[in-house]
């Protein structure tokens, strides 16, 4: 009994401490945009047939003045909780679309930019309206913009989500289903959704090695998504073996630490400048 009591006290203290930490972070997040502590990193995406960079995924970073690097997995959920996500998201979209315009000025019209959209952006009517307005306010070629959403963003109200995604697609943008293979992801849902790209989750790609059943599932999904006319992007490629397998079964696009981590815009431009490729 003592140990359980001790454990439960200890546990609630931990929880309390977590909550206080989160409150502090939420408080400091208010100044993050104004103080220019947020920045976008870009992870290159490669054509697995040519080895060339075809696009990038924009990933937000918070460089806190005292605490240093705070991962998005940590602060995005807090921002979603407090509603700060709306302002952060606007900043992310503006920064990424501005970058797209700069690419076009530099003669890099063909580089795709993927932007992650929080499930909140789609769910709240007022925020969606603001996001839609923002997305139509740039004079750029929207066919090279992809919006990444997760299934949780859709599943609670499929009808509304489908309507809203269709509105965004009218601008020419593509929609990618992120983290496919986790959570509720079901192939049955796929066909109801106005989706162009399926992103195979990292946990799936990990499974290529070792367990042959996993590898067979991936093979089947690659065949199926191809028959259904979806483009497939494999995420989290970390080994040559994984890359070889994905190439063998004709996965079109891939990203992962093996080829490149998310990098600053300066490093990205350098890679593009000297025509960085990833060949086996
Ligand atoms: P995500 O959208 O699934 O992004 C991919 C994450 O996997 C990124 O983590 C990326 O750095 C990491 N990654 C890429 N390749 C590899 C690999 O080969 N191995 C491993 N182990 N990891 C790899 P990151 O940047 O820390 O972002 C984590 C999550 O935070 C994202 O997952 C996304 O859900 C969210 N996030 C990041 N940026 C944004 C954003 O701008 N807006 C929104 N709404 N969410 C964001
Ligand atoms: Ca993503
Ligand atoms: Ca993902």
Is pLDDT above 90 for 193? no
Q: Is 43 in the pocket of ligand 1 (CB under 6 A)?
A: yes
Ligand 1 atom 10: the closest Cα is on which residue? 262
Q: Tell me how far the alpha carbon of residue 206 lies from the centroid of ligand 3, in angstroms.
A: 13
In terms of Cα–Cα distance, which of 211, 237, 236, 208 is closest to 221? Answer: 208
Ligand 1 atom 4: the closest Cα is on which residue? 59
Classify strands 38-47 and 68-70 as parallel, antiparallel or unpaired: unpaired
Ligand 1 atom 17: the closest Cα is on which residue? 236
Q: Is 256 in the pocket of ligand 1 (CB under 6 A)?
A: yes
Q: Tell me how far the alpha carbon of residue 226 lies from the centroid of ligand 1, in angstroms.
A: 25
pTM here is 0.93
Q: Is 114 in the pocket of ligand 1 (CB under 6 A)?
A: no
The rounded distance, in Å, linking the Cα atoms of 141 and 112 is 10
Q: Is 92 in the pocket of ligand 1 (CB under 6 A)?
A: yes
Contacts of residue 127, defined as CB under 8 A and 6 or more positions apart, other chains included, come to: 86, 89, 120, 121
Nearest ligand to the CA atom of 43: 1
The per-residue pLDDT for 120 is 84
The rounded distance, in Å, linking the Cα atoms of 128 and 87 is 12
245: left (phi over 0), alpha (psi -120 to 50) or beta: alpha
pLDDT tens column, 109-157 = 999 999 999 988 888 899 999 999 999 999 999 999 999 998 877 777 8
The DSSP 8-state label assigned to residue 210 in this structure reads S
The rounded distance, in Å, linking the Cα atoms of 53 and 57 is 11
CB atoms within 10 A of CB 192: 12
The per-residue pLDDT for 225 is 87
User: DSSP E strands: which ranges in the chain?
Assistant: 38-47, 53-64, 68-70, 112-116, 145-149, 174-180, 197-200, 231-234, 253-254
CB atoms within 10 A of CB 230: 18
Q: Tell me how far the alpha carbon of residue 102 lies from the centroid of ligand 1, in angstroms.
A: 24
Nearest ligand 1 atom, CA 238: 18
For residues 190-219, average pLDDT: 87
Binning pLDDT at 50, 70 and 90, where does residue 279 land?
confident
Q: Judge whether 237 and 201 are in contact, CB under 8 Å.
A: no
Is pLDDT above 60 for 5? no
Q: Tell me how far the alpha carbon of residue 174 lies from the centroid of ligand 2, in angstroms.
A: 14
pLDDT tens column, 19-57 = 888 889 999 999 998 899 999 999 999 999 999 999 999
**Residue 155 burial (C-beta neighbours within 10 Å; 0-12, 13-18, 19+):** middle
For residues 267-280, average pLDDT: 93
Burial code of 45-81, b = ≥16 C-beta within 10 A, e = fewer? bbebeeeebbbbbbbbbbeeeeeeebebeebbebbbe
**Least-confidence region, from 5-14, 116-125, 214-223, 228-237:** 5-14
User: DSSP E strands: which ranges in 111-263?
Assistant: 112-116, 145-149, 174-180, 197-200, 231-234, 253-254
**Least-confidence region, from 2-6, 78-82, 221-225:** 2-6
Binning pLDDT at 50, 70 and 90, where does residue 218 land?
confident
Is pLDDT above 60 for 6? no
Q: Is 132 in the pocket of ligand 1 (CB under 6 A)?
A: no
Is pLDDT above 80 for 186? no
In terms of Cα–Cα distance, which of 12, 3, 65, 5 is closest to 35? Answer: 65
Nearest ligand 1 atom, CA 41: 25
3-class secondary-structure state, position 90: helix
């Amino acid at each position: 009994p003592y140990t359980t009591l001790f454990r439960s006290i200890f546990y609630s203290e931990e929880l309390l401490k977590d909550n206080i930490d989160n409150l502090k972070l939420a408080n400091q997040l208010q100044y993050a945009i104004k103080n220019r502590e947020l920045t976008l990193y870009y992870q290159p995406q490669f054509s697995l047939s040519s080895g060339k960079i075809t696009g990038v995924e924009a990933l937000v970073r918070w460089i806190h003045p005292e605490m240093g690097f705070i991962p998005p997995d940590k602060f995005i959920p807090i921002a979603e909780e407090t509603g700060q996500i709306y302002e952060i998201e606007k900043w992310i979209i503006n920064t990424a679309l501005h970058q797209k315009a700069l690419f076009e000025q530099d003669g890099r019209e063909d580089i795709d930019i993927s932007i992650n959209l929080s499930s909140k952006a789609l769910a709240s009517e007022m925020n969606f309206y603001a996001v839609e307005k923002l997305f139509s306010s740039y004079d750029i070629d929207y066919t090279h913009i992809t919006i990444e959403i997760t299934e949780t963003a859709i599943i609670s109200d499929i009808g509304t989500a489908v309507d809203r995604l269709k509105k965004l697609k009218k601008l020419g943008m593509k929609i990618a289903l992120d983290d496919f293979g986790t959570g509720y992801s079901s192939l049955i849902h796929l066909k109801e959704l106005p989706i162009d790209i399926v992103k195979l989750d990292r946990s799936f790609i990990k499974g290529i090695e070792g367990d042959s059943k996993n590898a067979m599932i991936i093979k089947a999904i690659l065949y199926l998504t191809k028959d259904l006319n979806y483009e497939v992007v494999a995420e989290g490629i970390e080994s040559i073996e994984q890359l070889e397998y994905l190439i063998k079964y004709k996965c079109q696009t891939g990203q992962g630490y093996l080829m490149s981590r998310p990098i600053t815009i300066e490093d990205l431009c350098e890679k593009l400048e000297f025509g960085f490729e990833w060949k086996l």
